[in-house]
Structure 1
């Protein structure tokens, strides 16, 4: 049977052309010896397609599989959200740092994946942020160089931070030390941390905007430097003057109070429950509501000073502490009766002349900052930094500071929509990460949005847009 030339060009060894009507079909075949018929026998192995003058049309199943082979899947939802809430951050970073892409992407990957440097390149390549912000250099070597360059440029760090500071009232908070295991870091000096461990450590001082609920400034201090001594330099460097120092329970001393007052800095300092300054016999004269629970408090002025003592009692926490104590002890003892009045209480000394509710709110803000800093330490794994020198440490902490700002951008979104009781910033990112972008042929298509993720988006009014970025 004579075949047209456009058919014959597909005849190759191991193939068979078959004609049915006016159509031609191509098969891959093999030959084996038929011992019964005593002759070679052809066996069809695979249907290869229909031959046309325009070429070979492969089977539909094969065409579909090839299409799937050409599909690229990238995480989209969380990348979109971080991109969406950071327009001003990216703009200011780009004006302050030539390496702004690497800084921003590293910060995003720290927040999304708790990613060490060695994994950033992988996460970047599998995230749609690589399409929004292309051509970033995020290999471990490139990031290491970026950290050193950024860390050396404290002036640009300050310029960036000052761009978001506009005369707010700030909480000054010194937080848990960052342990460093590199001999090249001079800033890490031996000192006691909050757990009374004598370890290499670096102290961080944060200024947190009360009106905008966000970290505004950070500074690395040697671990042995007292927080009061560092505040003056911090005020000069940051330009912030309206500062309230909210310390932890180990900060109180008469010397520290006098030094803060000499510098005209407001303060709220918690006291240990066994402090002799606390008078638990005072009546609980006033109260306010906090998270649907009443908080009772007493106050009195300390004679001869401008200082005020507040003791707050939360009966919900009191019941929890009593239950915990009795669970650990078989029966209510004299010791229990002696300390029972302390359960559920926190006492502070302050030179602010404001209501108990305002003092409590500021104190709670410190707790919120500490919890966010736990993200800084634990979720973002920044409490042990294996940096080679002070410059890399400074750059590393700046990247994590950007990640902390992004964390608070999502926190503010949750607060705005009254969703903090149901979701955390990490919850939101986890839900959003379930949205992917599929590259099919020459087009990007968004995957279906899971029901629970859509519920989060609707609650927070997150407008997923397919054509984002550059």
Structure 2
């Protein structure tokens, strides 16, 4: 702060003005009156600030006025529309981050927020943050050196991470769980190990488990695993560490084994798991004696109970046609044997689920299909992880990086939910919205904070998304 601004503030306090605070944005000084109030939910005092106006060296305090549109010369400029969108998507995380991480929560929040916009490494995070209008009253230190320290602090604070995970996982009874991996050549990250992966690469990798809510399509937990650890071990540890009691886990067929089922039952968790295509459970004498319709497709269904475990068999005629076509083609091209062809033909169009839930076939099927809505989160998460992966030199920084990317994924998924709720998924992606809303700016014109004109298309889009982004 300049000496003249400090002297002005000192003089005001001598005159009896209380709670005044000066903040610096783009080399300008802005005056706020700050006070505190008791937050009943958090059970602690929280700070709130009211903007009073800009401080001028010659004119003193220039009172703030109602936001207006103006064509006068722009002296300072911030991206307002996309900033408002991003903060709206991330606002659920503010209170949990404050409680879990204390004084470094602002840096965590700001870094996670800017990375929703795209590939933002640490060296560019401060530049991207400064362009965004400060919708939330905060002043994080966004220098690469400080953010590197924050990554390490976050990485070693497993308790605080778990506090966030528990907060998020408490909102939905149905959770989707799956594993994926990222690759690294960094010698400083000894957590990486060579192991099996879907890409069939046998190079150093870090496995991560991701839990998402099935109904809200939001990520709720991320767990990092050594590259050689397989599904069953990770599942048991994740359940114990975060504590997802009274939940139903919707899993991938890779978890379908007697060991997995035993672990889930021991943890008193309910589950829905698709069986492998070569599972002997398909040999059970099950009849397809019921039916329902899913997205205008006829689904035949049947149910079998044995040892407090239920098998649910479904047949989709449309899927059957597609799989039969593929099987005949592969057989004619001699890519599969006659025995493989005949065995696969019996299961064409069929889906077999195993669960300890006794429910109607249609309800179990709908629960399983919720996996489809969150599958793409895994690919989005991998893209977010690319920001600093090659620069990370130790385990602690890696752990912090993966956690902050998880928070970015949460904000990204929230924007996806706005789009899905407006039935606009075929027209827009979250990145499309960020770019479009970025056309609306906040300007500092002669000491007044003014909003540029909001294009009608963006205003109408905001109404369809049912989010209030712009001041009236």
TM-score above 0.5, yes or no? yes
Q: Note if 1:294 corresponds to 2:297.
A: yes
Asked if structure 1 preserves the Cα contact closer than 8 Å seen for 2:212 and 2:220, the reply is yes
Q: TM-score, with normalisation over the residues of structure 2?
A: 0.73
Matches within 5 A, 1:38-117: 68=73, 70-97=74-101, 98-117=103-122
Asked if structure 2 preserves the Cα contact closer than 8 Å seen for 1:299 and 1:308, the reply is no
CA distance in 1, matches of 2:125, 2:83: 14
Matches within 5 A, 1:102-181: 102-129=107-134, 132-166=136-170, 168-171=172-175, 173-181=177-185
Aligned to 2:227: 223
Asked if structure 2 preserves the Cα contact closer than 8 Å seen for 1:114 and 1:380, the reply is no
Aligned to 1:238: 242
Unaligned stretches of 5+ residues in structure 1: 1-65
Question: Shift of the alpha carbon at 1:267?
Answer: 2.7
- Say which one has the larger Rg: 1
Spell out, residue by residue over 1:262-296, the C-alpha distance to the aligned partner (whole angstroms, 9 max, x if none).
44333322233343432599664333333x32251
Asked if structure 1 preserves the Cα contact closer than 8 Å seen for 2:215 and 2:370, the reply is no
Spell out, residue by residue over 1:18-75, the C-alpha distance to the aligned partner (whole angstroms, 9 max, x if none).
xxxxxxxxxxxxxxxxxxxxxxxxxxxxxxxxxxxxxxxxxxxxxxxx964x444332
Asked if structure 2 preserves the Cα contact closer than 8 Å seen for 1:178 and 1:384, the reply is no
Question: Shift of the alpha carbon at 1:462?
Answer: 2.1
Aligned to 1:264: 268
CA distance in 2, matches of 1:342, 1:382: 43
Return closer, same or farther for 1:331/1:226 CA change in 2, 3 Å cut-off.
closer
Spell out, residue by residue over 1:211-263, the C-alpha distance to the aligned partner (whole angstroms, 9 max, x if none).
54422222212232333333443333323212333332333333333333344
- What SS does the corresponding residue of 1:289 show, helix, strand or coil? strand
Question: Shift of the alpha carbon at 1:80?
Answer: 0.1
**Residue 307 (structure 2) aligned to one of 300, 305, 308:** 305
CA distance in 2, matches of 1:171, 1:385: 31
Return closer, same or farther for 1:435/1:371 CA change in 2, 3 Å cut-off.
same
Question: Shift of the alpha carbon at 1:134?
Answer: 4.9
Asked if structure 2 preserves the Cα contact closer than 8 Å seen for 1:78 and 1:433, the reply is yes
- What SS does the corresponding residue of 1:115 show, helix, strand or coil? coil
Asked if structure 1 preserves the Cα contact closer than 8 Å seen for 2:90 and 2:113, the reply is no
Question: Shift of the alpha carbon at 1:457?
Answer: 0.7
CA distance in 2, matches of 1:330, 1:119: 55
**Residue 182 (structure 1) aligned to one of 159, 178, 186:** 186
| Greater displacement, 103-112 / 197-206 | 197-206
Question: Shift of the alpha carbon at 1:395?
Answer: 0.8
Asked if structure 2 preserves the Cα contact closer than 8 Å seen for 1:170 and 1:242, the reply is no
